[in-house]
Amino acid sequence: MKIFKTKTELTTYLNTFDSEKSVGFTPTMGALHSGHLQLIESSKRECDISICSIFVNPTQFNNSGDLEKYPNTLKADLRKLKKVNCDIVYTPFIDDLYAKGEKAKEFNFGSLAASMEGEYRPGHFNGMATIVEKFFNIINPTKAFFGQKDLQQLQIVKALVKQMQSDIEIIGIPTIREGSGLAKSSRNSLLSANAKTEALLISKCLNFCTENKNLGISELQKYIKSAFEKSRNLELEYAEFVSLNQMKEIKEWEAENQSAVCIAAYIYGVRLIDNIIL
């Protein structure tokens, strides 16, 4: 496994490979868990060369406290990547990717970025798209792998590739869950065992929607709101029923597997998101 800290060293090394080799890329912010590793394993199966980046991108945090609390486990992350035979890891410092004083680029993703994370985390998607575009231009992957837990992000990255007029294929990998059903997240490391148990309300609400889809969206919204009101320590930020392709609010179900239920909530100051496609 090769580790690079500068884009110059990385691109010089990539240029030594035959141009016919396919390149798989997985961008991460570290604090790797089995969900991330599954992205790498998918890349290993589908591509000749697999690259993982570890970079906590400052421009996608609208809350400086959230940025400061984000877990940093680089040594452990590198050990995990070595175990799954990741070929290349790119771990740049901020000044390798951003000029001094550089801000996030302004993008127009329309309805994809208007609600949910776009509403509650202003500037988040501009920051995310800025860094992903930088990575894509440096690495020029054949395929890039993203988890469906960040569903809105996944749809926006697909739109970004179209705006770039690039032929990079964006692969969405289903959410990996703990045995309890809690969605795997780097932020889970900030939670106690009891908090994780309480946080299961999120996935339980999503499962209820799956099992009771026939009740209709209005009734399911009421159920989720009521369930969270009964919880002592979970604070619901949003529970949105949206079309998968446009991320627009819906009142009635779209065609099979074209609707999504997305939830964001806080527990003891830690923000968790999850979703299900129906």
Cβ atoms of 253 and 217 closer than 8 Å: yes
Our answer to whether residue 33 is catalytic in this structure is no
171/60 Cα distance (integer angstroms): 21
Which ranges constitute the DSSP H helices of 173-230?
A: 193-211, 217-229
Given the residues 36, 121, 134, 184, select the one marked as catalytic. 36
Q: Residue 110: left if φ>0, alpha if ψ -120 to 50, beta else—which one?
A: left
**Alpha carbon 248 to its chain's center:** 19
241/61 Cα distance (integer angstroms): 25
Cα dihedral 175/2/98/74 (nearest 10): 60
At 150, list the tokens. Answer: 């960040």
3-class DSSP state for residue 94?
Answer: helix
Amino acid occupying residue 115: S
Burial class (CB in 10 A: 0-12, 13-18, 19+), 198: middle
| Cβ count within 10 A of residue 12 | 11
Choose among 58, 106, 59, 52: nearest CA to 82.
52
Task: Name the phi and psi angles at 177, rounded to 5.
Answer: -120, 155
Place of tokens 């209820």: 208
Which DSSP letter does residue 114 get? T
Question: Which residues are the active-site residues?
Answer: 36
